[in-house]
Every structure is written in structure tokens, then in C-alpha cells.
Amino acid sequence: MTVRAAVAGASGYAGGELLRLLLAHPGVEIGALTGNSNAGQRLGALQPHLLPLADRVLEPTTAEALAGHDVVFLALPHGQSAAVAEQLGPDVLVVDMGADFRLKDAADWERFYGSPHAGTWPYGLPELPGGRAALEGSKRIAVPGCYPTAVSLALFPAYAAGLAEAEAVIVAASGTSGAGKTPKPHLLGSEVMGSMSPYGVGGGHRHTPEMIQNLSAVAGGRISVSFTPTLAPMPRGILATCSAKAGPGATAESVRAAYEKAFADEPFVHLLPEGQWPATASVHGSNAVQLQVAYDEAAGRIIAISAIDNLTKGTAGGAVQSMNIALGLDETTGLTTIGVAP
């Protein structure tokens, strides 16, 4: 079986990473590639690393261009997916790499995104409890945010096992590609090289309600999240340092056991041997999640740290993994756990 896939938003970082993965996917034929401001340009000028597609020319993002595909990936600015998705018909698998359909709570959406809520689609994080079932056979997928992917996977086992209290504290460092390809002064190489800086501090980052949604669902009660994202001098990668106060029953052994159980059969999530900690370089370009957990007895906290590639597992790889499940393919098709390092 080969499906024909279109990519709306092929000139950005998420679109480029998706194309890199689809080129290696044995069950996908790449169809239309669209863009807006870049329509009419050769992909070779926009994504020079994608040599096999160098001579493809971007079309404008229209219903006509996207018609006639089995799968349509949307890598569009927030708020633009609903209008496009409506025109695609119920039998097309639509995979939204934006935020539009991630949140269940309309008030959360409106508070953080400032526009009317478009709805909620099945959530593309198969490793969460019940995650795969929600995706099987689905024709709509909301790909998670990059930070919520790293954070939810790092913390949910502690909440699933009832070992952590309800207030999570998260500090995550992200590579600059997470901020996109639109040129802005603070994203210049001159500004980011040699510098670490926080942003969206104090609860303002849009990924916060998504983390709360995921962790609360697992915990069976509201989890509060203090989330501080930081921009790191690297193009890719997220290192999420997540902690919560240990609850009754938490010991080094019970915590370890909870994480071993959660990820025992996961193809992409790798709990490192005790004493080894993850590094983002190890997952560069891969769909793997490398993580480790510790119990700090003196401070009474569980600390779980995950490393992902924000563009792969955090965006495009997660999208392909969920597409595979929705289409009934082997979940790992076209994806790798091998990073490009050093």
C-alpha cells in the first residue's frame, strides 16, 4: 500500500523535517507541496538539504492543490488549519502539526491563543495511556506540541503510578528551530550563539495548558504546571527537566519501577540505564525519546529528564508515527531511533 501525501507549509522547519522523513517512508508518495509567501519557488532554494525534491516548485495552499491525496499534513500558522481541513472531506487523513485541535477546553484555547476554538481531534501521542486506541483508524490527528511531548512523556509515569504530588515544575531548553523560520532579531545567529535566555515565563507559554491536560488526564485530577521554556544555542533538541514533589510510596525503587513499566514495550521511548543521563545530541534527527528519572530523597522530589528532537519526535516524527497508526501500518515505519551524532 502506498498513500499519497500532501504537505501544506512545506517551506518551514516542520514541513522540511516532515519531507525528510516522508522521503524515507516506504509507504508514502509525496504529492503536492504548498506554501504561501514562498509559492512559486524551487524547494531547492528553500530546503537545500532535501536534494531529491530540489526541483519541485511550491504551489499556493488551496483546496485544489491539496485535493486528491490520501493524507494531508498541515504545517500552518496557528488558527489556519480549520478552514483548510473543512475543505478536505472526511475520508482524507488530515494531520495537523499546528495547535488548533489539541486542547479540549475552549476557554483554555481562547485564553492562550486569542481566537475561537476550532475543536478537538485525536491527540497524536501514542505513548500516553489510551493513546494508540484514540488514533487507530482516525481521519483527524492533532500532533502535540514539542514541549508537551517531552514533558508529558517524562512525567506521566509518575502520575500514572500515583507517586507524585499535583504540582509539577518544568524547565525546558529548546533549540532555535522551535521558534520557526520567520526572521526576528532575537533569533539571529549573532544573538543566540553563546546565549541562554528564558521566554514566556510565569505561565504564559501556550504549551502550558496542553501539559496540564495530558498530565491531569493520567493523574485523574488537576495537575498544576509551572513551565519555563528557555532558548538554547543549538538548532535542534529539547531537554526537559521535570520534577514534582514525591508522594507517599515514592522510593528510588518504586519510581524506577514505574518508569520501567511505562516504557517497557515502547519502540521510541528509551529509559536509560541508571546513572546515565540523556543528551539532546543523541536524538538529533531521530524519533527516539531518551529519558532518565531520579528520586532526590533530601529534597523529596522526583526528577525526570527527557531529550527529544523538537522537529522529529516533537513534531514531524510524531506526526508520521501517528499517521502510521491511523493507517494501520507498523508504527515505526519510516522512523528511526538512531541519532546523528556527534
Pick out residues in 150-189 that bind its own copies (CB under 8 A).
167, 169, 171, 173, 175-177, 179, 181, 183-185, 187-189
For residue 270, state whether it binds its own copies (rule: CB under 8 A): yes
For residue 62, state whether it binds its own copies (rule: CB under 8 A): no
Q: Can you give the C-alpha Rg of the chain in angstroms?
A: 19
Q: Which is nearer to its own copies, 57 or 196 (CB)?
A: 196
For residue 107, state whether it binds its own copies (rule: CB under 8 A): no
For residue 57, state whether it binds its own copies (rule: CB under 8 A): no
In this structure, the number of other CB atoms found within 10 A of the CB of residue 292 comes to 21
Q: Are strands 197-198 and 224-231 parallel, antiparallel or unpaired?
A: antiparallel
Residue 45 Cβ, how far from its own copies at the closest point, in Å? 7
With 0-12 CB in 10 A as exposed, 13-18 as middle and 19+ as buried, what is 297? exposed
C-alpha cell at 271: 529509559
Distance, CA of 50 to CA of 39 (rounded, Å):
17
Q: Which is nearer to its own copies, 84 or 238 (CB)?
A: 238
For residue 44, state whether it binds its own copies (rule: CB under 8 A): yes
For residue 191, what are the contacts with CB-CB under 8 A and spacing of at least 6?
185
Strand partners, 172: 229, 240
Residue 223 Cβ, how far from its own copies at the closest point, in Å? 10
According to DSSP, residue 37 is labeled: T
Q: Draw the binding track, 3-42, toward its own copies (x: CB under 8 A; -: no contact).
A: ----------x--x---x--xx-----------------x
Choices 46-54, 67-75, 116-124, 213-221 (CB under 8 A): range interacting with its own copies = 46-54
Q: Which is nearer to its own copies, 30 or 134 (CB)?
A: 30
Q: Residue from 131, 144, 148, 285 that binds its own copies (CB under 8 A)?
A: 285
Is 146 tagged catalytic? yes
For residue 146, state whether it binds its own copies (rule: CB under 8 A): no
Q: Which is nearer to its own copies, 90 or 273 (CB)?
A: 273
H/E stretch holding 86 reads: helix 81-86
Residue 122 Cβ, how far from its own copies at the closest point, in Å? 27
For residue 300, state whether it binds its own copies (rule: CB under 8 A): yes
C-alpha cell at 86: 473543512
What is the torsional sign of CA 217, 218, 222, 228? negative
Scan residues 193-222 and list those touching its own copies (CB under 8 A): 193-199, 201-203
Distance, CA of 123 to CA of 213 (rounded, Å):
11
Strand partners, 240: 172, 306
For residue 245, state whether it binds its own copies (rule: CB under 8 A): yes
For residue 256, state whether it binds its own copies (rule: CB under 8 A): no
- Strand, coil or helix: 173: strand
Closest CA to 163 of 302, 274, 291, 298: 302
Q: Which residues are catalytic?
A: 146
